[in-house]
Amino acid sequence: MTARLLDRFEILPPSEEVDRGLGLLSDRERQVLVRTARGRSNEEIARELYLT
């Protein structure tokens, strides 16, 4: 999931495009994105969001 989020946003410059793109994410994807931005590892994200 993390790779999918990063692939979607790493090529976009800060702009209205990014704002619109963020609106396309599900609540869960936004939760993962926020944790990724805070430097959490995949394992930490999974534990925090109760993923297996």
For residue 13, pLDDT beyond 70? no
Confidence of residue 14 (pLDDT cuts 50, 70, 90): low
pLDDT of residue 22: 76
Please enumerate in sequence order all residues whose Cβ is within 8 A of that of 14, keeping only pairs 6 or more positions apart, or say none.
none
Write out pLDDT tens, residues 18-50: 667 777 888 899 899 899 999 999 999 999 998
Confidence of residue 5 (pLDDT cuts 50, 70, 90): low
Asked whether 50 and 23 are in contact (CB, 8 A), the reply is no
Distance between CA atoms of 5 and 9, rounded to whole angstroms? 6
